[in-house]
Amino acid sequence: MAANKILIVAEHAGGALNPSTAKCVTCARAIEDGEITVAVFATDGSSVAAQAAALQGVTQVLQIDNAANGHPLAAVLAPQIAALADGFTHVFGPSTTFGKDLMPRVAALIDTPQLSDIMAVESAHCFRRPIYAGNAIITVKVPADLKIVATVRTASFEAVADGGAASVEKRDVQVDLPTHTRFVEISAASSDRPDLQTARTVVSGGRALGSADGFRILYSLAEKLGAAVGASRAAVDAGYVPNDMQVGQTGKIISPELYIAVGISGAIQHLTGIKDARTIVAINKDAEAPIFEVADIGLVGDLFALVPELEKQLA
């Protein structure tokens, strides 16, 4: 029997498994002598469970169907996960807003510490994680007799490929579920553009775009590139774009192949979100802007002239 039994809480919506789960599996596979189980909480999780069972390295999928699991409420899921965690040495979730909301609640119920944003596995009980907006990396160790609850920093791991064939087992988890927390609605700023967290190319705009209208030149460029569109906090705060487009310490941490920062100064909180980008391009009219210190390719000038020009030349 494996020494390390790892339970991963699947993130999903609308019947689709979120790629963050496949990233957690990659992290879990880095743990020696481990066996990986994925838990799917849903009203009817059959389709999501099948997707999870196809991930390489997964041994078993537990499908916990319950009418109360229709929307992922931490207060409802946590006691079920805590009950399920018996017999597991590790419980992992993604460092998305889903996992960040849920996993600390699980840890407290189990009475064990939680590790946030693990970016590397040193051993089954030793991990590395960023602090101070990624300006320091620490090595953390948890005593071997404690269960490890953690969120996995999704930008640090590639999604595992399909090709697995795990067994799917339906489980009944008997615990009292609270009714004090109720889901009302979710307003997704729907767009046809690629998802910010998984896109290969991301074009981001900052305060300099000046208005919601100003962002149009970025949407247009993004369309040409097949890119997702992101933003700095300043652009979100000013109401140019919705909150789910924010990149940074308190927004999304992303790792695209190409990141194009347009009219963004490069505050440390923003840079935290793009440290793992393969290539960073910066367009800014201020040659002294801190973004140029991290950019692989920099271009100084007025974005309102340069961005349309770039789109044209890409034709």
Residues 233-272 interacting with ligand FAD (rule: CB under 6 A) = 233-235, 246-251, 263-265, 267, 269-270
Containing 82, the helix (H) or strand (E) segment is helix 74-84
CB proximity list for 191: less than 8 A, separation 6 or greater: none
**Which is it for strands 126-131 and 120-123: parallel, antiparallel or unpaired?**
antiparallel
Question: Which stretch, 40-48, 62-70, 155-163, 293-301, contacts other proteins (CB under 8 A)?
Answer: 293-301
Among 116, 204, 232, 255, binds other proteins (CB under 8 A): 116
SS3 178: coil
What tokens were used for 209?
């775009």
Q: Examine residue 232 and tell whether it contacts ligand FAD (CB under 6 A).
A: yes
- Report how far residue 22's alpha carbon sits from residue 278's, in angstroms, rounded to the nearest whole number: 20
- Of the candidate spans 72-80, 94-102, 145-153, 230-238, the one that interacts with ligand FAD by CB under 6 A turns out to be 230-238
Give CA–CA dist 252/230, Å, rounded. Answer: 9
Q: Which two tokens stand for residue 252?
A: 């999304």
Instruction: Quote the CA–CA distance of 253 and 71 in Å, as a whole number.
Output: 24
C-beta separation of 147 from 112 below 8 A: yes
Among 42, 19, 40, 145, smallest CA distance to 94 is for: 19
Report the C-alpha gap between 53 and 66 in whole angstroms.
20
Half-sphere exposure of 278 (CA within 13 A, CB side): 7
- List Cβ neighbours of 44 (8 Å cut-off, separation of 6 or more): 65
The one of ligand FAD, other proteins, none whose footprint includes residue 43, by CB under 5 to 8 A per kind, is none
Task: Check residue 293 for interaction with other proteins (CB under 8 A).
Answer: yes
Residues 46-75 that bind other proteins (CB under 8 A): 73-75
Residues in region 242-271 near other proteins by CB under 8 A: 242-244, 249-250, 252, 257-258, 268-269
Nearer to other proteins, 138 or 161 (CB): 138
Cβ closest to ligand FAD, residue 49 vs residue 262: 262
Q: Does 303 bind ligand FAD (CB under 6 A)?
A: yes
Site string for ligand FAD, 179-218 (x = CB under 6 A): ---------------------------xxx----------
Q: At 1, which amino acid appears? A: M
Q: Which does 183 bind (CB under 5 to 8 A by kind): other proteins, ligand FAD, none?
A: other proteins
User: Closer to ligand FAD at the Cβ: 125 or 270?
Assistant: 270
One-letter amino acid at 181 equals T
Smallest gap from residue 117 Cβ to other proteins (A): 7
295 binding ligand FAD? (CB under 6 A):
no
Residue 28 or 217 having the CB closest to ligand FAD: 217
Q: Which of 19, 34, 93, 104 binds other proteins (CB under 8 A)?
A: 104
Nearest distance from C-beta of residue 214 to ligand FAD, angstroms: 9
Compute the least distance from the CB of residue 53 to other proteins, in Å: 24
SS3 258: strand
**Residue 31 · residue 137 · CB < 8 Å:** no
Distance CA 84, CA 181 (A): 21
Q: Which of residues 151-210 bind other proteins (CB under 8 A)?
A: 178, 180-189, 197, 201
Q: In the complex, which residues of this chain contact ligand FAD (CB under 6 A)? A: 206-208, 232-235, 246-251, 263-265, 267, 269-270, 273, 284-286, 289, 302-304
